[in-house]
């Protein structure tokens, strides 16, 4: 910004100077009143003119300036008139004549070349701006765009990072090494050359790098992987060289490369030829990190969520000695992350981070930050001074299930069909073994679905057993079966349920070895992607007869769970009817009301329930979301 302001000031000064010069040279333009030559001659004959000054030559035209008897001034341009002098003498007008001042040779050159000089100056200015503000001239394309961070530009520390204690311990060791390297060198240890932070999007990899910059009292250079990419050949490698040269002058220091997969993808990937500019950039980075010339005192920290596409030469020890996994937070980590973000929001006394942490399984740190922000927005929308638990529940439901579409007009038949569909999911979910607890059922359209049955696990799950997967398949079939039993019809609302159930049954047979007939063997084809440097061909490793057996096993699993769900719903028709009635009246029921229905108790009404105005004359609006599907929390 300082450079831009400086350039603008320079060009303003140049413009003012040029305007002043032209005003000085343009002497013909004065404040005198310019009149026609005929008027001038009429005033002379009327004896109104006192004095006259004639400039120029008669044959080329003359400028006549003078004063009237009343003190006024005038100016006129006179063509060739041989009677002018006689007329002035006849009427006693005092006059003098002088030749026109010829401009100097230097001024003629300046006036003739000024437009060209101005165009050249503007062109040079814009070229310097395109090349990085004029720093380095034409060679600035190869300059690194890494930004150096210090205490004034980055205030994030390890106290602002939560939910990844193991990853924090790994990087804390690097900060400790930079502060006191003798403690490690005395035992023969050397500083790691690089650390690769790997994790799902939103887990806090970049935030952890910012915390390292805030804690380490050494220069910290931050750059994105896409900053090496340019339209000119050789620019990426030149920027890598310049970045490491700058880092060597400031060693010991840290270089952070965000989204390194932009330049670190496996070499030789793709079909056919193509531009190898990215590979040149990667080759230069490999040499700078661990080549013939060592980079003592420089630690490279990189972050990516695609470690599978990185080149093996980049991942070997000596370049990236450590791979720090930043996982999705567990229930304790989610509670810590919520506490960090809640410090910035006025929280009511009824908000319990532990309860929210249990109800948000599978969420990353970015998702939890979004929950807190959405809750604050809900509180502001409701004119509250504090953010309470109701706002957090609304925010959690909006993120996990989608925004409510209360303005959507549905016919009464579709509304009833959706209620039976979701009741079928919920009742089967309460009766099958090892099923996640049913948290909430709603027939309010949310997102792309007409209704939702939400299940929340009691604890974080890292693997799933066979009984759990079979129960999930039965729950998915509950919606269609309820439509058949109670509405005597089939709708397209179960389309997504069937897709997920079939995919789950196929994975059980072909990937997980959960078929007694086929045993623990993987039945599938090569999934290698050619654009990731894998093989261009796929190899079938099973015969046609085996694939028929695989299809038979998938069909057997689906038929058995379909029959199980149908039997459970036929045996509990009264519970489905009562749950459907509750949904049609209240539109949303929670776990307590579901438990009342399953225990043959009268369900308690929801708090602050307001009846919904339902129009029976409208049809479902057009769109690509006709389905009423379940959304288990484990898949959010």
**What interhelical angle do 331-342 and 365-381 show, nearest 10?**
50
421 in a labelled binding site: yes
Q: Nearest 5°: CA angle at 164, between 163 and 169?
A: 135
- The CA distance from 585 to 359, in Å, is 26
CA-nearest of 529, 528, 532 to 266 is 532
202 in a labelled binding site: yes
439 in a labelled binding site: no
CA-nearest of 229, 318, 222 to 265 is 229
- Residues marked as catalytic: 422
629 in a labelled binding site: no
- The CA distance from 393 to 389, in Å, is 6
172 in a labelled binding site: no
- Report the number of secondary-structure helices (H) and strands (E) in the chain: 20, 14
Q: What are the E-state strand segments in 146-206?
A: 147-149, 194-198
DSSP sequence for 72-100: -EEEEEE---TTHHHHHHHTT-EEEEEPP
CA-nearest of 452, 557, 446 to 512 is 557
- The CA distance from 99 to 102, in Å, is 9
Please provide residue 353's backbone torsions phi and psi, each rounded to the nearest 5 degrees: -60, -30
- Tokens for 511, please give them: 């990937």
Residues 6+ apart with CB under 8 A from 256: 209, 212, 213, 220, 221, 222, 223, 301, 302, 303
Mapped onto helix, strand or coil, the DSSP state of residue 264 is coil
- The CA distance from 135 to 119, in Å, is 21
**DSSP secondary-structure letter at 34?**
E
CA-nearest of 322, 326, 331 to 208 is 326
- The CA distance from 314 to 198, in Å, is 14
**DSSP secondary-structure letter at 266?**
P
Please state whether beta strands 194-198 and 298-304 pair in parallel, antiparallel, or not at all (unpaired).
parallel
203 in a labelled binding site: yes
605 in a labelled binding site: no
**DSSP secondary-structure letter at 138?**
G
524 in a labelled binding site: no
Residue 443's Cβ-side half-sphere holds a number of Cα atoms within 13 Å equal to: 30
Residue 149's Cβ-side half-sphere holds a number of Cα atoms within 13 Å equal to: 20
**DSSP secondary-structure letter at 605?**
P
Q: Nearest 5°: CA angle at 224, between 222 and 230?
A: 125
539 in a labelled binding site: no
- Tokens for 315, please give them: 């991942």
CA-nearest of 204, 220, 203 to 212 is 220
Sign of CA dihedral 125, 127, 132, 135: negative
Q: Nearest 5°: CA angle at 368, between 367 and 369?
A: 90
CA-nearest of 56, 234, 78, 213 to 148 is 213
5 in a labelled binding site: no
297 in a labelled binding site: no
Residue 326 · residue 203 · CB < 8 Å: yes
What Cα–Cα distance (Å) separates residue 21 from each residue in 18, 165, 305, 401? Answer: 5, 70, 62, 71
Q: Give the residue ranges of the annotated binding site for ATP.
A: 199-206
- Annotated binding-site residues read 199-206, 421, 425, 497
Binding residues for Zn(2+): 421, 425, 497
């Amino acid at each position: 910004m300082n450079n831009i302001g400086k350039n603008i000031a320079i060009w303003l000064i140049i413009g003012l100077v040029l305007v002043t010069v032209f005003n000085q040279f343009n002497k013909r333009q004065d404040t005198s009143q310019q009149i026609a030559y005929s008027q001038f001659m009429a005033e002379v004959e009327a004896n109104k003119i006192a004095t006259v000054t004639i400039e120029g030559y008669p044959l080329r035209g003359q400028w006549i300036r003078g004063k009237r008897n009343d003190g006024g001034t005038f100016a006129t341009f006179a063509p060739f008139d041989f009677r002018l002098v006689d007329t002035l003498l006849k009427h006693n007008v005092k006059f003098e004549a002088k030749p026109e001042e010829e401009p100097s040779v230097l001024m003629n050159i300046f006036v003739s070349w000024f437009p060209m000089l101005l165009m050249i100056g503007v062109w040079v200015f814009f070229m310097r701006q395109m090349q990085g503000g004029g720093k380095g001239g034409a060679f600035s394309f190869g300059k690194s765009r890494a930004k150096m961070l210090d205490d004034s530009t980055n205030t994030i520390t390890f106290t602002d990072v939560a939910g990844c204690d193991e990853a924090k311990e790994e990087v804390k060791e690097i900060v400790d090494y930079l502060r006191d390297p003798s403690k490690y060198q005395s035992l023969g240890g050397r500083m790691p050359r690089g650390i690769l932070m790997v994790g799902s999007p939103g887990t806090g990899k970049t935030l952890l790098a910012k915390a390292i910059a805030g804690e380490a009292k050494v220069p910290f250079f931050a750059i994105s992987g896409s900053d090496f990419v340019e339209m000119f050949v050789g620019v990426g490698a030149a920027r890598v060289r310049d970045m490491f040269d700058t880092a060597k002058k400031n060693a010991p220091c840290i270089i952070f490369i965000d989204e390194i997969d932009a330049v670190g993808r496996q070499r030789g990937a793709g079909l056919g030829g193509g531009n190898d500019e990215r590979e040149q950039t990667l080759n230069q980075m490999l040499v700078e990190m661990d080549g013939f010339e060592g980079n003592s005192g420089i630690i490279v920290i990189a972050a990516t969520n695609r470690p599978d596409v990185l080149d093996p030469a980049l991942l070997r020890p000596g370049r990236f000695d450590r791979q720090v996994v930043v996982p999705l937070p567990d229930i304790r980590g989610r509670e810590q992350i919520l506490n960090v973000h809640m410090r910035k929001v006025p929280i009511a006394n009824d908000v319990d981070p532990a309860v929210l942490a249990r109800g948000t399984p599978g969420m990353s740190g970015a998702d939890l930050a979004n929950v807190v922000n959405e809750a604050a927005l809900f509180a502001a929308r409701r004119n509250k001074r504090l953010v309470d638990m109701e706002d957090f529940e609304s925010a959690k439901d909006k993120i996990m299930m989608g925004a409510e579409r209360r303005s959507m007009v549905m016919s009464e038949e579709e509304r009833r069909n959706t209620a039976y569909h979701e009741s079928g999911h919920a009742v089967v979910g309460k009766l099958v073994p090892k099923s996640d607890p049913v948290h909430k059922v709603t027939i309010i359209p949310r997102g792309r679905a007409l209704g939702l049955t939400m299940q929340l696990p009691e604890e974080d799950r890292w693997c799933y057993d066979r009984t759990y997967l079979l129960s999930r398949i039965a729950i998915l079939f509950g919606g269609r079966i309820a439509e058949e039993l109670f509405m005597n019809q089939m709708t397209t609302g179960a389309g997504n349920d069937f897709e997920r159930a079939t995919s789950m049954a196929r994975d059980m047979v072909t990937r997980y070895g959960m078929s007694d007939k086929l045993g623990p063997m993987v039945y599938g084809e090569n999934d290698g992607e050619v654009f990731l440097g894998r093989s261009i061909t796929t190899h079938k490793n099973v015969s046609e007869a085996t694939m028929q057996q695989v299809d038979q096993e998938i069909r057997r699993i689906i038929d058995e769970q379909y029959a199980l769900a149908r039997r459970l719903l036929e045996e509990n028709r009264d519970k489905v009817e009562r749950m459907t009635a509750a949904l049609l009246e209240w539109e949303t029921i929670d776990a307590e009301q579901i438990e009342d229905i399953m225990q043959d108790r009268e369900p308690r009404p929801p708090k602050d329930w307001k009846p919904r105005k339902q129009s029976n004359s409208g049809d479902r609006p057009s769109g690509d979301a006709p389905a009423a599907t379940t959304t288990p929390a484990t898949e959010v």
